[in-house]
């Protein structure tokens, strides 16, 4: 099985209580790819970059099994740029700058060798572009998952609602679920989101873990209590990449397997936050990931006898 990853490949400037990083590599599709390749290859990337996106980063991705045929380079424009500042709790942040640059006129075309891919992860991007990708695929993937964020809710809500009709799974954070539905209760928000189209919903709650909803079932996965969260940027995309990469590698989209995929995604996200940008994701091995998944298992595993 293989996975298509769609989203931004970008530069980010980040401020956390621990320090600042200027113009480092980021972007939703970058994180998705670095995460998913730990479980499945190839990861077929769809994105757009400007003249300034480093060739070494492209080589780094290629080396790990990411196909870049679907990444357009615009020679006379800058790459997407985002800047954010985290609050002291590291769970919430303010966006300081969003410069669309190359993204403003992105019209993705799907390379022929991407057709027939079974899993599709639509990373954070304009919902119209996310829908274009679905419509360009000649065969509907077995599972289409999608991420979005407040920026698109504020600038393209009606397009977002249309795209939602075509996806199987929505992966967002708690604030986004509330903003999308206008409902505070996440259980009520889940039911409202099911009425918009998706059959599965993952709600990420930062250091408080993640919830998976499907029909009347719900599963909860904790986040690993880490001594230090250095930079949460990309944790959501890394989670999504791990989740979809795991599902693609096992080719099983049952609710039971989605529970395992949530743990896989959470394990990857727990590495992502340990250093600025995708740095930590490039260092880890399969053994590191397996050890961390075992830590998750131990964290929630207990025995109790009931009379």
Does residue 98 interact with ligand AMP by CB under 6 A? yes
From the CB of 138, what's the least distance to ligand AMP, in Å?
Answer: 26
CA quadruple 58, 132, 96, 15: dihedral, nearest 10: -40
From the CB of 24, what's the least distance to ligand AMP, in Å?
Answer: 9
Does residue 151 interact with ligand AMP by CB under 6 A? yes
Whichever of 15 and 252 has its CB closer to ligand AMP, that residue is: 15
User: Of 7-15, 47-55, 65-73, 136-144, which segment contacts ligand AMP by CB under 6 A?
Assistant: 7-15
User: What's the token pair of residue 85?
Assistant: 């500042």
From the CB of 239, what's the least distance to ligand AMP, in Å?
Answer: 8
Please state, as a whole number, how many other Cβ atoms lie within 10 Å of the Cβ of residue 299. 14
Count of residues engaged in binding ligand AMP, rule: CB under 6 A: 17
From the CB of 83, what's the least distance to ligand AMP, in Å?
Answer: 9
Whichever of 234 and 245 has its CB closer to ligand AMP, that residue is: 234
Instruction: List the one residue from 8, 16, 35, 132 that touches ligand AMP (CB under 6 A).
Output: 8
From the CB of 123, what's the least distance to ligand AMP, in Å?
Answer: 7
Whichever of 41 and 98 has its CB closer to ligand AMP, that residue is: 98
44-46-51 Cα angle (round to 5): 120
Give the integer Cα–Cα distance in Å for 46 and 118: 15
* x-marked contacts with ligand AMP along 225-244 as a string, rule CB under 6 A: --------xxxxx-------
List, in order, residues 6 or more apart from 230 with CB less than 8 Å away.
16, 18, 273, 274, 275, 276
| Closest-CA residue to 45 (of 28, 25, 68, 26) | 68
Give the integer Cα–Cα distance in Å for 184 and 204: 15
Give the integer Cα–Cα distance in Å for 208 and 91: 9
Beta strand 143-146 pairing with 169-173: parallel
User: Of 4-12, 40-48, 135-143, 223-231, which segment contacts ligand AMP by CB under 6 A?
Assistant: 4-12
Residues in a beta bridge with 25: 11
Residues 19-48 that bind ligand AMP (CB under 6 A): 26-28
236-110-272 Cα angle (round to 5): 20
Does residue 10 interact with ligand AMP by CB under 6 A? yes
Whichever of 95 and 115 has its CB closer to ligand AMP, that residue is: 95
Instruction: List the one residue from 12, 174, 176, 231 that touches ligand AMP (CB under 6 A).
Output: 12
Name the region of 283 (left: φ>0; alpha: ψ -120 to 50; beta: rest): alpha
Instruction: List the one residue from 120, 125, 264, 273 that touches ligand AMP (CB under 6 A).
Output: 125
From the CB of 125, what's the least distance to ligand AMP, in Å?
Answer: 5
Does residue 177 interact with ligand AMP by CB under 6 A? no
Instruction: Tell me the CA distances in angstroms from 288 to 97, 184, 221, 293, one per residue in order.
Output: 35, 37, 19, 9
Give the integer Cα–Cα distance in Å for 249 and 206: 25
* x-marked contacts with ligand AMP along 49-88 as a string, rule CB under 6 A: ---------------------------------x------
Residues near ligand AMP (CB under 6 A) are: 8, 10, 12, 26-28, 82, 98, 124-125, 149, 151, 233-237
């Amino acid at each position: 099985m293989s996975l298509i990853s769609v989203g931004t490949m970008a530069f980010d400037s980040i401020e956390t209580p621990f320090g600042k990083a200027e113009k480092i590599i980021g972007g939703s599709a970058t994180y998705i790819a670095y995460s998913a390749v730990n479980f499945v290859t190839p990861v077929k990337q769809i994105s757009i970059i400007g003249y300034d996106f480093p060739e070494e980063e492209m080589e780094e991705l290629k080396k790990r099994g990411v196909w870049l045929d679907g990444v357009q380079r615009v020679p006379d424009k800058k790459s997407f740029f985002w800047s954010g500042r985290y609050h002291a709790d590291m769970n919430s942040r303010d966006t300081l700058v969003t410069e669309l640059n190359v993204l403003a006129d992105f019209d993705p075309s799907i390379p022929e060798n991407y057709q027939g891919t079974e899993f599709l992860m639509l990373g954070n991007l304009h919902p119209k572009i996310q829908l274009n990708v679905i419509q360009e695929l000649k065969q509907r993937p077995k599972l289409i998952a999608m991420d979005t964020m407040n920026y698109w809710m504020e600038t393209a809500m009606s397009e977002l609602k249309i795209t939602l009709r075509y996806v199987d799974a929505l992966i967002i954070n708690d604030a986004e679920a509330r903003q999308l539905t206008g409902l505070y209760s996440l259980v009520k928000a889940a039911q409202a989101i099911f009425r918009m189209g998706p059959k599965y919903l993952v709600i990420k709650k930062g250091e408080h873990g993640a919830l998976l909803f499907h029909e009347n079932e719900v599963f909860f996965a904790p986040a690993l209590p880490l001594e230090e969260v250095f930079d949460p940027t990309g944790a959501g995309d890394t989670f999504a990449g791990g989740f979809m990469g795991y599902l693609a590698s096992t080719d099983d989209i049952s609710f039971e397997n989605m529970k395992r995929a949530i743990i896989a995604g959470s394990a990857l996200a727990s590495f992502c936050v340990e250093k600025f940008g995708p740095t930590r994701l490039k260092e880890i091995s399969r053994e590191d990931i397996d050890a961390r998944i075992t830590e998750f298992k131990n964290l929630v595993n207990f025995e109790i006898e009931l009379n």
